[in-house]
């Protein structure tokens, strides 16, 4: 496995798009959180409402894990795009064929890309962990691991995005087209997800049927659904009409979708003409 | 030992049958040409052997074993187009190929020198000309000095000097005892370089065997006389030719190369009271042989 990974590294270490997109992502995670941190510190916490809510800061410990994961979640598009480009490049240059001709099996070819997707998710998560820790410590509150599970959700979300990106890359093969499909799919799923959310709220308030927030049951939104901006005390008032969070269902679906994407990508590469 | 044996390989693309049940063997130490016009299924066949394409039915073996990726690592293969990472230099591309082949990087300077690319080894692949890309692909095949090479139209896009160099290289490798499988649509190339040949036509195997037998050419003697039926009768008594053809008011007699006895034919006809008004020795061209085999 390490041998294959070394070869994968030889392919990407001198590739400009890799260097640019990774730096954008790293800088982005830090910058986005810094902006939220500054805005909160200098503006929101000075207002009357903030005083009413008590000393609420999204970067205090136990909240920092959630805030950072949520804010960085928006940037996960970048590593997903990078993975699409790295994979579809192989199809464009036909190097996927050459790798196999030279002596990789089809399984090795797709599995090393999946390992790359997992590693990208791991690196993103480590970066978010360090960022959350740094902002948490600079907010002046005392360290706590409460709510650190959000870092885990972030990892699942990163992995889900990466696996969807790989699947689309394997199915579409052309770089530009695959990126287009990725965005269109994302927009489409968000649209359906919001319709389902509205429907869930109606079912709950009118017929008292609670199926949870059904918008969170779709592939990209299931990973998304677990990452929300920290609740402030006012939000509790809305609980009467909102559907219950079926946390375990959403978590289960996220994992199920990951398995599906894995199986579909591998199957496609192993079974069809390349 | 067979390097490659194919058993009834079929490949369908929807209603199009690219290969219609092809079987043959490539013995060790041969230069085996796969000859056929464009679209006859040569690349499809090599793609199946390299696990790039899945056959619709049929089986094949490499080195007498059920094929897997370790067999492919022992074969230097160049299929259809030079496939490299455009943004990497020639040398970096070869490092990747060597790592996949598990060959080590020590052989890279040698193969670059063999194809005259040492000076350009640090240039990106995307800056290469077609001929240079082709030569880099051949260099990649030669990495680690494999016992078997599979080359798909290796001289495509090369200038005459490049073509001569590649052909000389193939002959040299053959003398070293290597097995080379080469696809080509150039009959003349196959005849010059190969020891064995398989001829494909629209996905079917037309002929396979020793190149001298399959591509044996003939001399044709064309004769004519005012009374063509009398001439025919006279010629039938003569014998010595493999077969003859009547073409308008001419007869074509087919002889093995260099064996046509023009004087004897003339004398024989004259003795029978027939005066020839035409006596012509024609060499059969390779092109017409190719047309005959593939049409």
Q: pLDDT tens digit string along A151-199?
A: 998 999 999 999 999 999 999 999 999 999 999 999 999 999 999 988 9
Across the interface, whether the CB atoms of A106 and B54 are under 8 A apart is answered no
pLDDT at A224: 76
User: What integer pLDDT is reported at residue A78 of this predicted model?
Assistant: 94
Residue B128 CA to chain centroid, in angstroms?
27
Q: What residues of A are in contact with residue B142 (Cβ under 8 Å)?
A: none
% of chain B surpassing 90 pLDDT: 55
Contacting residues of A for B81, CB less than 8 Å apart: 94
Number of domains comprising chain A: 1
* Mean pLDDT value across residues A224-233: 66
* A100 contacts A106 by C-beta, under 8 angstroms: yes
Question: Nearest C-alpha of chain A: how many angstroms from B109?
Answer: 18
Flag if B99 and A100 touch (Cβ within 8 Å).
no
Which residues belong to CATH 3.40.50.300 in chain B?
A: 2-214
Per-residue pLDDT, A40: 78
**Which residue of chain A comes nearest to B126, CA vs CA?**
A93
Whether A93 sits inside 8 A of B81 (CB atoms) is no
Neighbours of A56 (CB within 10 A): 18
Mean pLDDT, chain B, integer: 90
Rounded Cα–Cα distance for residues A158 and A224 (Å): 9
Q: What is the pLDDT of residues B161-171, one digit of tens each?
A: 989 988 999 99
Q: Domain B2-214 carries which CATH code?
A: 3.40.50.300
Residue A59: C-alpha distances to residues A28, A128, A139, B286, B293 (Å)? 17, 13, 6, 82, 80
Lowest mean pLDDT among A31-45, A48-62, A125-139, B115-129: A48-62
Find tokens 């992502």 and name the residue. A25
Confidence of residue A202 (pLDDT cuts 50, 70, 90): confident
pLDDT for position B285: 63
- CB of A104 within 8 Å of any CB in chain B? yes
* Per-residue confidence (pLDDT) for residue A235, from 0 to 100: 53
Closest CA–CA distance from residue B26 to any residue of chain A (Å): 19
Is B68 close to A101, i.e. CB distance below 8 A?
no
Is residue B147 very low, low, confident or very high in pLDDT (cuts 50, 70, 90)?
A: very high
Q: How is residue B204 written in tokens?
A: 């079917």
Contact A95 B53 (CB under 8 A): no
Q: Whole domain around residue A121: which residue ranges?
A: 2-271
| Pairwise CA distance, residues A127 & A133, whole Å | 10
Give the orientation angle of helix B262-271 with respect to helix B228-238, to 10 degrees.
Answer: 120
- B218-294: what fold? Alpha-Beta Plaits (3.30.70)
* Residues constituting chain B: 295
User: Going by C-beta distance under 8 Å and a sequence separation of 6 or more, which residues neighbour residue B161?
Assistant: none
Taking CA atoms, B294 is separated from B38, B207, B243, B281, in Å, by 11, 10, 21, 25
Distance from CA of A89 to the nearest CA of B (A): 8
Residue A126 in tokens: 């480590």
> Is 80 exceeded by the pLDDT of residue B45?
yes
- Check CB contact under 8 Å for B84 and A100: no
On whether the CB atoms of residues B272 and B242 are closer than 8 A, the answer is no
Contacts of A18 in chain B (CB under 8 A): none
Nearest-angstrom CA–CA distance, A211 and A196: 11
**Residue A150 CB contacts under 8 Å (≥ 6 apart), including other chains:** A65, A66, A69, A70, A226, A227
B10 and chain A in contact, CB less than 8 A: no
Ranges of H-type helices in chain A: 2-12, 16-42, 48-52, 64-73, 77-92, 95-102, 106-138, 149-172, 175-202, 219-225, 247-271
pLDDT digits (tens, 9 = 90+) for A75-111: 999 999 999 999 999 999 999 999 999 999 999 999 9
Contact between B133 and B147 under an 8 Å Cβ cutoff? The reply is no
CB atoms within 10 A of CB A132: 28
Within 8 A of B47 by CB-CB distance, chain A residues are 273
Best residue in B10, B96, B141 to probe A by mutation, most A CBs within 10 Å?
B96
Position A238 scores a pLDDT of: 59
Q: How many Cβ atoms are within 10 Å of B259's Cβ, its own excluded?
A: 11
Instruction: For chain B, give every residue range classified as CATH 3.30.70.100.
Output: 218-294
Size of interface A-B (CB pairs under 8 A): 74
B111 with B139: CB under 8 angstroms?
yes
SS (H, E, C) chain B: CEEEEEEEEEEEECCEEEEEEEEEEEECCCEEEEECCCCCCHHHHHHHHCCCCCCCEEEEEECCECCCHHHHHCEEEECCCCCCCCCCEHHHHHHHHHHHHCCCHHHHHHHHHHCCCHHHCCCEHHHCCHHHHHHHHHHHHHCCCCCEEEEECCCCCCCHHHHHHHHHHHHHHHHCCCEEEEEECCHHHHHHHCCEEEEEECCEEEEEEEHHHHCCCEEEEEEECCCHHHHHHHHHHHCCCCEEEEECCEEEEEEECCCCCHHHHHHHHHHCCCCCCEEEEEECCHHHHHHHHHC
Q: Measured between CB atoms, does A13 come within 8 Å of chain B?
A: no
Higher pLDDT, A13 or B215: A13
- The residue-averaged pLDDT of A217-231 equals 77
């Amino acid at each position: 496995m390490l041998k294959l990974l070394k070869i994968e590294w030889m392919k990407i270490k001198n590739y400009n798009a890799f260097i640019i997109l990774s730096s954008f992502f790293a800088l982005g995670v830090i910058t986005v959180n810094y902006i939220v941190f500054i805005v909160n510190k200098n503006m929101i916490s000075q207002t009357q409402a903030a005083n009413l809510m008590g000393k609420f800061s999204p970067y205090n410990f136990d909240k920092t894990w959630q805030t950072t994961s949520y804010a960085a979640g928006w940037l996960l598009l970048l590593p997903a795009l990078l993975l699409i480009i790295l994979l579809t490049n192989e199809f464009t240059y036909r190097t996927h064929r050459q790798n196999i001709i030279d002596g990789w099996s089809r399984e090795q070819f797709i599995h090393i890309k999946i390992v790359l997707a997992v590693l990208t998710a791991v690196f993103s998560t480590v970066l978010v962990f360090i960022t959350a820790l740094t902002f948490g410590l600079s907010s002046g509150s005392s360290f706590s691991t409460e709510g650190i599970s959000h870092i885990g959700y972030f990892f699942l979300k990163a992995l889900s995005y990466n696996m969807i990106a790989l699947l689309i890359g394997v199915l579409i093969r052309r770089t530009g087209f695959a990126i287009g499909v990725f965005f269109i799919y994302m927009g489409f799923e968000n649209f359906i997800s919001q319709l389902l959310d509205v429907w869930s709220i109606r079912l709950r308030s009118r017929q008292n049927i609670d199926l949870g927030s059904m918008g969170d049951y779709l592939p990209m939104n299931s990973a998304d659904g677990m990452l929300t901006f920290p609740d402030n005390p006012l939000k509790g008032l809305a609980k009467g009409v909102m559907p219950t969070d079926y946390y375990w269902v959403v978590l289960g679906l996220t994992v199920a979708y990951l398995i599906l994407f894995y199986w579909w990508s591998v199957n496609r590469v192993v079974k069809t003409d390349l | 030992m067979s390097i490659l044996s194919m058993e009834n390989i079929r490949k369908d693309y929807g209603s199009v049958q690219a290969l219609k049940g092809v079987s043959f063997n490539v013995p060790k130490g041969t230069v085996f040409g796969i000859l056929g016009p464009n679209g006859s299924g040569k690349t499809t066949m090599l793609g199946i052997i390299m696990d790039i394409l899945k056959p619709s039915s049929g089986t094949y073996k490499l080195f007498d074993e059920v094929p897997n990726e370790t067999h492919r690592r022992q074969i230097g293969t160049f299929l259809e187009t030079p496939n490299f990472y455009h943004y990497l230099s020639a040398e970096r591309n070869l490092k990747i190929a060597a790592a996949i082949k598990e060959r080590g990087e020590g052989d890279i300077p040698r193969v670059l020198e063999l194809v005259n690319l040492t000076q350009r080894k640090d240039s990106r692949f995307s800056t290469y000309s077609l001929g240079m890309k082709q030569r880099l692909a051949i260099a990649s095949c030669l990495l680690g000095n494999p016992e078997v090479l599979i080359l798909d139209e290796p001289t495509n896009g090369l200038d005459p000097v490049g073509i001569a160099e590649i052909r000389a290289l193939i002959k040299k490798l053959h003398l070293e005892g290597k097995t080379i499988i080469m696809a080509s649509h150039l009959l003349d190339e196959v005849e010059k370089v190969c020891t064995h040949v398989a001829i494909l036509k629209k996905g079917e195997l037309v002929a396979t065997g020793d190149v001298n037998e399959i591509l044996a050419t003939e001399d044709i003697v064309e004769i004519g006389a005012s009374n063509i039926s009398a001439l025919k009768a006279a010629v039938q008594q003569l014998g010595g030719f493999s077969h003859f053809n009547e073409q308008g008011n001419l007869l074509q007699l087919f002889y093995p190369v260099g064996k046509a006895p023009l004087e004897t034919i003339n004398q024989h006809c004259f003795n029978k009271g027939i005066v020839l008004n035409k006596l012509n020795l024609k060499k059969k061209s390779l092109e017409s042989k190719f047309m005959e085999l593939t049409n």
